[in-house]
Structures are given as C-alpha cells and as structure tokens.
Chain A
Amino acid sequence: MTGANGHIIEVKDLVKKFGSFVANDRLTFHVEKGEIFGFLGANGAGKTTAMRILCGLSYPSSGDIMVAGHDVYNEREKIKRKIGYMSQKFSLYDDLSVSENIRLYAGIYGLGRKQIASREDQLLERLGLTNIRKRLIREIPLGWKQKLAFSVAIFHKPAIVFLDEPTGGVDPITRRQFWEMIHDATLEGITVFVTTHYMDEAEYCDRVSIMVEGRIEALDTPAGLKQSYESKNMNEVFLKLART
C-alpha cells in the first residue's frame, strides 16, 4: 500500500496552474503511514487545490504524485477505493436518516450487506446514536452530524482519510471530541490528512506543513516549528510565516 520508502503519500514537484495562475508551486513532501498530517495555510494558499489532486478530484499540471502506492495520473480509481473524504461543506444527505446515510456510503465503497449491518451497529453504539438511527439528518444537532460524517468517511477502513476543514463552525467542545476521534482513527492504522485554519488544532498533528501563496514554506513537527521560529504557539509561527 505504501510507496518504496514506506511513505503513504509521496509528492514531488507538484505544480497546478489555472491559466497563468499558479495555485501549487513545486510542492514536495511526503506523509508517513499512520500519522496525522496537518496541511495549513491561509484561505487561497492552495491547500484545497493540492488536496483535490491527492483525492483524484482533479489532475495536476505536472509532478510525480503517489497516493497509497498508486499514481494519480493513471490509477485514480484504485486510489479512490483506498481513501475516505470529508469536505468542508456538509457531506451527509439531509433528507436521509442516520442509518440510510451510513448504508449509502458503505454500499458505494462496496461493503457487503452483513459487513455493513454489524459495523453500523458498532458505530452507532460507539457514538451513542443507536436510538436515533431512524431520524433524518436534518433533525439532529450539528456536532453529531460532524462526528457522524467523519465516521462515515472512515467506515470502509480506508488507508488515508482526507479532511477538508472538518471542524468549521463547530463549538470548542465538539472540536475537542472530534480530534479525539481523529486520534482513535490513527490507532486503527488510518493515516489522516487534514486541512485547517485553526492553529490550536495544528498542535494535535504529528507533522504540519504551512503553505503560503502556493508554496510550502515550512514543514516539521509542531514542536520543531515553534523552536525554529522562536514562537510560543503555532499561531505565532503562522503569523511570522505569513508576514514574510
């Protein structure tokens, strides 16, 4: 599943242009199996563009990119089977019930009926949603939806899950719980690739890259970054980088 050197994502000189605008300028980085990789940057820095390429949602202009051992140019179908994706917009269907949403995505990822049934019970149990499994998504609180959306994104046990600003508009307590769920996912061997602009969340990541205007300006552990930029917290690191 991983590349030759054990990296689950390997990106070399990724360039994405829209006309003359360069959204991603020679990005080079890798993600190790089982880590939480934070992909940070201001709005418009090119995070989402790069992430969409890694998910097989768009093609790069050039560069060598391997995801879960597959090439993004020719093996997008294989990549899509091995990843989970949760976008910043809402990813569950409002007019379907909790259970129907789970079954829909499980079905799309090719899980068998029995497998779906047993995993669904486990999941609802764990989230404490067993009683409201028949309730429509539009009737349940935002925090629950968010947690459910994440659980659905990793329901098929993907090698990597891509989270695009997953905690937007969520209260601090739910955010905290959400990050616990992310951490639990890594214990099951799932690699987490997450974009965010909450700098406190960056502290929870194993490694963090910071993008400024289409380029990766820094990439290290949160502790390493704070040290090299002589900052007390990630917020300061980010401000120093953005200003230069």
Chain B
Amino acid sequence: MNRFFGFVKKEFQHIFRDKRTLLILFGLPIVMIVLFGYVVTTEISDVEVGIWDRSMDQTSIQATQKIFSSGYFVPAGYLEREEEIGELFHSGNAKVVVVFEAGFEKNLKRDNRASIRLITDASDANSAQLAQTYLQGVLMSYFQSINQDVRLPWTVNVESRMYYNEELKGVYMFVPGLMALILMLISALMTSVTITREKEFGTMELLLASPLKPREIILGKVTPYVFLSFVNALTIILLGFLVFKVPVVGSIWLLLLVCMLYITLALSLGVLISTSAKTQQVAMFMSLLGLMLPTILLSGFIFPIDNMPRILQWLTHIMPPRWFIVIVKNIMLKGTGLAHIWKESLILLGMTLFFILAAVKRFNIRLK
C-alpha cells in the first residue's frame, strides 16, 4: 500500500510543479464560468427602443411605460414620422422600433384586436431575434393583465426553458453545461496526457518492469485527478451560486454523487485515449476533437437537441455529457430527486462501466 501512496504522491508533485497544468486545472474553470456567465449569454439588457406612437391614448402610453420599466429596454427616442425609423436605425441609436397603430385603444375596444408593429434592426440577427422575443413577452403579459379577451395579432414564441428560469437568466443554462465541459476536459484530457507522458519519456517501461501492477499504475495516475476534478465541480457550483446566484434547488449530495460518476466516466475515457495515443500531442488532439467538440456541440449545452437533424439527434444519445446535463439541470434547477433521473444515471453508469472495461482491455493488449 505504501508503494501505491508513494506513487500517488509523485503524481501530485508532477501536477503542483507544472505551472501550465495548474493554470489549466484551476484557472480554466474560473475563466470559463466567468466568460460564459457574463459574455456568452442569451440575456439582453439595455436594448435601445424607439417608439412611434400614432395613437397616443392611455393604453398605448401604458404599454410603452411597461416596456421601459421591464429593465431590458431603454428609450432611444419618440418618433413622429415613418422616415424617422430609417434614420434612427441608420444612426445606430436603436435596435427596435415599436409602432402603435393610429386609434390603438379604440380598435382594441371595438374589434378586440389592434396591431403593434415591431421593426427590428436585424443586422445582428441573433440579438434582434432575442430583443423581439423579449418585447413580445413584455407586451403579451401586459395585455393579458388588462384584458383576458384581447387577442394580439402576433404569435408569441416563448422559449420553454423560461419555465424554470422566470427571470430569464441565461447563466442558469450555462452552469450545468459548463460543468459537463470542464469536468470532461480536466478529467479526460489531463489523464490522457499524463499517462502518455510516461510513455513518451520511457518511464512507463520502468514502472511496468517494477513490482507495481498495471492497475496500480493506472489508479495511481488517475487518483489525483479524481480529487482535483471534484474540487473543480465544487468550484463551479460555488461560483455559480456566489457570482451568478444560480441555486441548487435539489439535493447537493445527489448532485455531487452524479458529478463523481461523471468524473469517473471521463477519467476512464482519458485512460482509453492514452492506450492508443503515442505522444502527448496526439492525446491532446484526440481529447479535444473527440471529447471537447461533441461536449460543446452535441450535448444540448449550446444548441438545442430538438433542432438538430435526425441523425445528429441519434448521435447525441451516445454522448455522455448529454445525459449528465439533463441530470444536473433536473437536480439544480428543478430540484428533482433520484426518482426522475434514475434512467439517465443508469445510462451514465453503463457507459462508465463500458469505458473502464474497454480501457483495461486495451491496456492489457498493449502489454503483450
């Protein structure tokens, strides 16, 4: 047993003496969560809106007030002529112009319908789309509050995720996704690189010729990363909570347990990669291309799975992060217990066992 601890100690020394490793281990998660949290967000704030109120009645004025008190929009000017719309967009002072038709309130009362035009500067299509959606949301809720019978002449598309994220916090979505990404990156990439390093430097031969058993070598290499990945999982949850106020509604213990399962899975993937990679560089590329990209693209982290072509949708089923993200979202945001996530957890467990078996098998073949 001493033999094993001596080996694990050496592994920690490798990690703590290499500044680059340390930076990736502890700097990366923090930078990523802050970046994703603040920059890459689907939230909008302070979007400039111009108003052309051709009616100037009580309802249209109140609706305008509603828009600016929502917190997402600031006034960019009140227009009086149609040409001014183009001028406003041209000067870059507004992203959206809201036009109330003439006789707005009167039409509403008489026909139960009135129209509002939303004109958007779509040169930045994404934020235009977002601003429009938000505006519709704000107007819808206002008109529903004053008159249940009012039908609005626009279709409202409300993203389903708002259901559990009523304040429209984009960050909520990113925390589970980032956890999937960072844990995969740290666990799989770092282990595959560290094992390949021993092969590249020839020290692996030496260890294999020693009384250490192959499984002790692998376990010894992996142990520090289990520990460090776990610290990372805690860091992300804590940062999410302290900086972005993302709550953990469900059981924190269950959440940590699932994280451990996912870490184990990622580590066995790392070992698997190291059995076929000859150099650290190859291991790094395999991890980045084989694990990072699918984690970002095919896990539902950024792009909704429902919008993908059928073939890609099928492909997502074999992506471990996909299941992990579902579980984490359920526990963190909805507070569900094991009863609702056992299926996904079982899939993850099955994948973990599969990868461990595959890694052990490949490692043994390599010895022969």
Pick the contact of A110 from B3, B7, B18, B207 — CB < 8 Å? B3
Smallest distance from the beta carbon of A182 to chain B beta carbons, Å?
18
How far does the alpha carbon of A85 sit from the alpha carbon of B208 in the complex, in Å?
10
Q: Is the CB of B205 within 8 A of A85?
A: yes
Out of B7, B13, B18, B205, name the residue touching A108 (CB < 8 Å): B7
- A residues near B211, Cβ cutoff 8 Å: 77, 80-81, 108-110
Q: Is A214 an interface position by the 8 A CB rule?
A: no
- Beta-carbon contacts of B82-110 to A below 8 Å, as 1s and 0s? 00000000000000000000000000000
**Per-residue contact bits, chain B 296-337, to A (CB 8 Å; 1 contact, 0 not):** 000000000000000000000000000000000000000000
- Give residues of chain B (1-32) contacting chain A, Cβ–Cβ below 8 Å: 2-3, 6-7, 10, 13-14, 17-18
- Encoded as 1 (CB less than 8 Å from any B CB) or 0, chain A from 107 to 138 comes to 11110000000000000000000000000000
Nearest CB in chain A: distance from B1 CB, A? 10
CA distance A83 to B205 in the complex (A): 13
Query: Within the assembled complex, what's the spacing in Å between the Cα atoms of A55 and B367?
Result: 12
Shortest B275–chain A CB gap in Å is 15
Taking A89-B201, A89-B202, A108-B7 as contacts, is the C-beta distance between A95 and B209 under 8 angstroms?
A: no
CA distance A58 to B367 in the complex (A): 6
Contacts of A80 in B (CB 8 A): 209-211
Closest-CB distance, A233 to chain B (whole angstroms): 31
CB-defined contacts of B203 to chain A, threshold 8 Å: 89-91, 93
Is the CB–CB distance between B13 and A95 below 8 Å?
A: yes
CA distance A81 to B201 in the complex (A): 23
Distance A96 CA – B6 CA, assembled complex (angstroms): 13
Q: Which of B7, B210, B212, B213 has the most CB of A within 10 A?
A: B210
Q: In this complex, which of B10, B18, B208 has the most chain A Cβ atoms within 10 angstroms of its Cβ?
A: B10
Instruction: Pick from A57, A87, A94, A104: contact of B10, CB below 8 A.
Output: A104
Q: How far is the CA of A108 from the CA of B207 in the complex (A)?
A: 9
The answer to whether residues A55 and B209 also contact, given A93-B203, A104-B7 and a CB cut-off of 8 A, is: yes
B10 touches A88 (CB 8 A): no
Query: In the complex, are the beta carbons of B2 and A57 less than 8 A apart?
Result: no
- Nearest chain A CB to B238 CB, angstrom units: 30
Across the interface, A95 reaches (CB within 8 A) one of B3, B14, B213, namely B14
Residues of B within 8 A of A81 (CB): 211
Q: What bracket does the count of chain A residues touching chain B fall in?
A: 20 to 34
Known: A58-B367, A96-B10. A108 touches B210 (CB 8 A): yes
Say how far A78's CB is from chain B's closest CB, in angstroms.
9
Q: Is the CB of A107 within 8 A of B209?
A: no
Which of B6, B14, B201, B205 makes the CB contact (< 8 A) with A57? B205
- Asked if A104 contacts B6 (CB within 8 A), the reply is yes
Q: Is A183 an interface residue (CB 8 A)?
A: no
Partner of A90, one of B6, B202, B213: B202
Distance to closest chain A CB from B189 (angstroms): 19
Kindly state whether residue A100 has any CB partner on chain B within 8 Å: yes
The reply to whether the CB of A56 lies closer than 8 angstroms to some CB of chain B is yes
| Further 12 A-B residue pairs, CB within 8 A, beyond A56-B209, A57-B205 | A80-B210, A81-B211, A85-B209, A85-B210, A87-B206, A89-B201, A89-B202, A91-B202, A91-B206, A96-B10, A96-B13, A104-B6
Q: Which residues of A contact B (CB under 8 A)?
A: 55-59, 77, 80-81, 83, 85-91, 93-96, 100, 103-105, 107-110, 162
What is B's interface to A at a CB cutoff of 8 Å? 2-3, 6-7, 10, 13-14, 17-18, 201-203, 205-213, 367-368
The 10 A-B residue pairs with the shortest CB-CB distance in the complex, in nearest-first order: A89-B202, A107-B6, A85-B209, A55-B209, A95-B17, A80-B211, A91-B206, A81-B211, A108-B210, A87-B205
